[in-house]
Amino acid sequence: MSLPTSPVIRRARLGAELRQLRRREELTLEQVCDRLGWASTSKLSRIELGQSRPDLADVLDLLDVYQVPPPERDMLVAIARDAATGRGWWKTLGGMGERQRAYAELEGGAATVVEYQLAVVPGLLQTPAYARLRLGVARLLDRAVDVEADVRARLIRQEVLHRADPPQYTALLELAACDPGGVPDDIWREQLRHLVALAAKPHVTIRVVPPGVTAGGAHPLTPFSRYSFPDPADPRTVMLEALTTDVRLVSAADLAWYDAVVDRLLDAALPAAETTALLARLADDPALLARRDDPVLPAPGGRPLPPAGGAEDTAVVPRPRPSPD
């Protein structure tokens, strides 16, 4: 069986390889574009940053300029084909917006996914009713949001957890994400029971992070998702969720920082079995958290995190509303 591929990651991998080849030949962007007769350097820059779907003919021209021999050339051509044509099962849904598509491309090719959420259930774990409610709120901010199309798109994304070769998926949820926060009881109970059912799958792990676990150390200020891929040469990726943009991080320095954050949260989170039991109790009694009569484990002490960095390997992705979650 062939390994699943993520087009967006293949584009990033191809761009990094081509940039390395150009530097190996000690060529500038301007020199390469002059040789190929390209009008400006922006085309090559976008290819190297993985920001555009590459034309195979352009890639072949670049490999000629860089005098790349086989089998390296064959490997790069195969990556270019994945990056250019590996559009994936999610493309069958016309209602999927650019933002959901960006996440679907990562999810569809991932070997592992770790998601951290502060206040909502992650999109891959949402029931249709909960998703519809969340998207209805987004429509108050943007009347162009097609709620039903986005709900259908979200359900298509969720198929990745039910395929024959699913990624290993871990959700780290702040306790606030387990609070109904105005969600009607029937929708919230259904959502919590859905989480319990998903947690029974061997490739799905859901863990609640008790309040205060980050005392003494850095705290994630935004939701994020971390992806790794079957081909270890494909760049691991973190996606940060902000209000108007998504930020994709691929630098080693940034990944080291988020690896440390994930390790810290995993150390502090309730075990999976205790989380499942808590979710089941909340489904039976949604007001349990409000009464605070369910003890929460104390947080461990903080531990230092490596410095963040790698701005040159950071891609800012325009974020059309609504949020993928």
pLDDT for 109-162, tens place per residue? 899 999 999 999 999 999 999 999 988 766 555 666 678 888 888 999 999 999
**Separation CA 108–CA 158 (nearest Å):** 10
Average pLDDT over residues 306-311: 45
Instruction: Kindly report the pTM of this predicted structure.
Output: 0.78
- What pLDDT, on a 0 to 100 scale, did the predictor assign at position 53? 83
Whether residue 8 is predicted with pLDDT greater than 90 in this model: the reply is no
278-to-121, 206, 275, 283, 322 alpha-carbon distances in Å: 15, 11, 5, 9, 30
Average pLDDT over residues 71-84: 88
**Separation CA 56–CA 142 (nearest Å):** 38
Secondary structure E strands in the chain: 112-117, 168-174, 204-209, 224-228, 237-241, 245-249, 314-318
Q: Evaluate whether 7-85 and 97-318 have a shared fold.
A: no
Domain ranges of the chain: 7-85, 97-318
Tokens 């992705």 label which residue? 317
Name the average pLDDT for the chain. Answer: 83
Average pLDDT over residues 104-113: 91
- pLDDT confidence bin for 216, thresholds 50/70/90: very low
Strand order, beta sheet including 112-117: 204-209, 168-174, 112-117, 224-228, 237-241, 245-249, 314-318
**Separation CA 33–CA 106 (nearest Å):** 30
**Separation CA 109–CA 290 (nearest Å):** 39
Q: How far is CA 211 from the centre of its chain?
A: 24
pLDDT digits (tens, 9 = 90+) for 87-102: 555 455 455 677 788 8
CATH code: domain 7-85 is 1.10.260.40
237 forms beta bridges with 227
- What pLDDT, on a 0 to 100 scale, did the predictor assign at position 271? 94
**8-state DSSP, 161:** G
pLDDT digits (tens, 9 = 90+) for 235-287: 899 999 876 678 889 899 999 999 999 998 998 899 999 999 999 999 998 87
- What pLDDT, on a 0 to 100 scale, did the predictor assign at position 320? 44
Name the token pair of 241: 């969720």
- pLDDT over 70, % of the chain: 78
- Specify the CATH number for 97-318; select among 3.40.50, 1.10.287, 3.30.870, 2.60.40: 3.30.870
pLDDT digits (tens, 9 = 90+) for 46-57: 999 888 888 999
- pLDDT over 90, % of the chain: 51
Question: What b/e sequence results for 192-210 when a residue is b if at least 16 CB atoms lie within 10 Å of its CB, and e otherwise?
Answer: bbbbbebbeeeebbbbbbe
Q: How far is CA 10 from the centre of its chain?
A: 15
183-to-14, 191, 199, 325 alpha-carbon distances in Å: 44, 10, 22, 15
- What pLDDT, on a 0 to 100 scale, did the predictor assign at position 288? 78
Whether residue 294 is predicted with pLDDT greater than 80 in this model: the reply is no
